[in-house]
Amino acid sequence: MGEVYEARDERLGRCVALKFLPSRYSSDPDALERFAREARAVSSLNHPNICTIHDVGDSGGRPFFVMERLEGMTLKDRIGAGAAPADDVIGVGIQLSDALTAAHARGIVHRDIKPANIFITMHGEAKVLDFGLAKLTAEKRPGAPAAETPPKRRSPGPSS
């Protein structure tokens, strides 16, 4: 749930993505809480396979967050492009497993894993997106001491 735009962070000189809550939801308390919950959940995670949130804000009553800008395509689009080499599929699976393991260690359950919420960068890195339906378990909450990020497994890169 959100409208995403490419933008330039003038202070740091980098391209970013801005995710706005759609204006039709700006007065819906449930939508506002869901959007805030996503920002809190994702910002509490630091993992190479989870899209990073850099900042949050509000513009004219519309909340937004600033995320890393990714180049590539969603897994949904990649699947639509045809069969992928087995090494690529295994590599993406390992990366997603690592990302979800890190989220679960922080007490965050994504609850909406689907090809449209997984991004494959131009370098073959998988990134989990859209934690809008995430559930925070009682055991751990964002803001609690950080769990150790599992060591990065070496996964097969994209095939040439």
What letters, b where the CB count within 10 A reaches 16 and e where it falls short, cover 91-100?
Answer: bbebbbebbb
> What's the token pair of residue 28?
């819906």
Distance CA 127, CA 100 (A): 10
Query: Are the beta carbons of 126 and 120 closer than 8 angstroms?
Result: yes
Active-site positions read: 112
Sign of the alpha-carbon torsion through 125, 126, 132, 136: negative
Tell me how far CA of residue 113 lies from CA of 27, 28, 36, 151, in angstroms: 27, 24, 19, 22
